[in-house]
Amino acid sequence: MKELSVVIPVMNEFENVEPMIRALGDALQGLDYEVVFVDDGSADGTQKEIIRCADENVKLVELRKNYGQSTAMTAGIDHASGKFIALLDGDLQNDPTDIPPMLEKLKAEDWDVVAGNRKDRKDGVLLRKVPSKIANAVIRRLTGVYIKDYGCTLKVFRREIAEELGLYGEMHRFIPVLAAMQGARMTQVDVKHHPRQHGRSKYGITRTFRVMADLITMVFFTKYIQKPMHLFGTIGFVAFGLGVIINLYLLVLKILGHDIWGKPLLILGLLLLLGGIQFITIGILAEVNIRTYFESQNKKTYTVRRVFNGKQQTLAQPS
C-alpha cells in the first residue's frame, strides 16, 4: 500500500498534463505516492498525453464517457491504493506543494480531513468570487459545517473517510458536509491558488442553480436522512390540522345557513387536507426508501474503459 494517493479528475486538460506530473514529482519527493488521473470523457487527447508523460507513480483510469466530477472522484478513490488520499484539480490552479504540509498536519494532529482554503483566489470577482462567497455562507448556515471554502478541491483525507463519502451527482461541492456526516474531525489551512494558464474552466455562473438544488438535498441528508418522517410528517400533520380547522369552521357556517360553496377558504381547506395526506404518505415512502438505501447492494455509478499503470501495459477493466 502506498502512503499517499493523489486523485485528479481531468476532462480536456491536455496542456496541463505534463506540467502537472512534473509539479507533483517535485512536490512529493521523499513520499511513497501515486497519482491517479481519472479521465472523465476527454475529447482532446488528454488520455494519450497522460500515458506519454507517465512514470512509475502515475495511474490512469479512463471512464467510458463523461460522468461528472463527483463520479470521477469516486472512481479515482476506488482505484487508489494509498493510506491517505488527496484530491486535486487538474487545471494547475491548486498547488501540489501544499499537499505535503497538509498531510503532515493530518498525521501529526490526528485529523481525518484537512481542507484547503484559497486565501488569495485568482479568479474573476463577479462571476466566480462573489457567487462563491454567497454560496459558502448559505451552505455554512444551512448545514452547520463551518468550512470557509467549499469550492476548493484540494483536500487530504484518511482513506476510510474518503471511501465512505458517497459522492453522487454533483455532490463534490459538499465533501466537507459528507465527511461531517461520518463524524470526521476536520480542519482547514490556507493554500496557494494560481490563475488558469491553459484550457477553459468547466464551470460558469449557471452552476449556481445546480449548487442550490444540491444544497436542498444536503440539508435533507444532514438533518433528516435517518428520520425523513420527521420532516414530511411534521409538514403533513400541520397542513392536515389546518385543513381540519378550516373545514370545521366552514361546516359551522353551513349549519348556520351561510353559503360556503365556491369560497376561496373552502378551496384552501380542501387543498390543505389533501396536501397533508400526501406529505404524510411521502414521509412513509421516504422511510421505506431510506431503509432500502442503507441496506441495498453496493453498485458502481460509472464504467471503466481501461486502467493504465505507469509504464506497464494498458489493461482492460470490466465494470
| HEC-encoded secondary structure of 188-220 | EEEECECCCCCCCCCCCCCHHHHHHHHHHHHHH
Helices (H), 256-317: 264-295
Tell me how far apart the alpha carbons of residues 23 and 82 are, in angstroms, rounded to a whole number: 19
Phi/psi of residue 138, nearest 5 degrees: -65, -45
Q: Which of 110, 117, 102 is nearest to 192 (CA)?
A: 117
Residues of the chain with pLDDT under 70: 122-129, 169, 198-213, 290-291, 293-299, 311-319
Predicted local confidence at residue 127, as pLDDT: 54
What pLDDT score does 124 carry? Answer: 58
In this predicted structure, what is the pLDDT of residue 319?
45
Residues 163-211 pLDDT 10s: 988 777 677 888 898 898 889 999 999 998 887 776 565 555 555 566 6
Q: Residue with C-alpha cell 458502481?
A: 300
As a whole number of Å, the CA-based R_g of the chain is 25
Those residues whose C-beta lies under 8 Å from the C-beta of residue 306, and which sit 6 or more positions away, are 60, 62, 314, 315, 316, 317
Handedness of CA 93, 139, 276, 272 (dihedral sign): negative
Helix and strand element counts for the chain (H, E): 10, 9
Phi-psi region of 216 (alpha: psi -120 to 50; beta: other; left: phi over 0): alpha
**Helix, strand or coil for residue 4?**
strand
As given in the structure block, the three cell numbers for residue 82 are 494509498
* Strand, coil or helix: 270: helix
Question: Can you give the pLDDT at residue 198?
Answer: 64
Residues contacting residue 189 through CB under 8 Å, at least 6 positions apart: 98, 101, 102, 105, 114, 115, 116, 117
Q: How far is CA 242 from CA 96, 228, 229, 239, in A?
A: 58, 21, 19, 5
Cell (9 digits) for 55: 512514470
pTM comes to 0.76
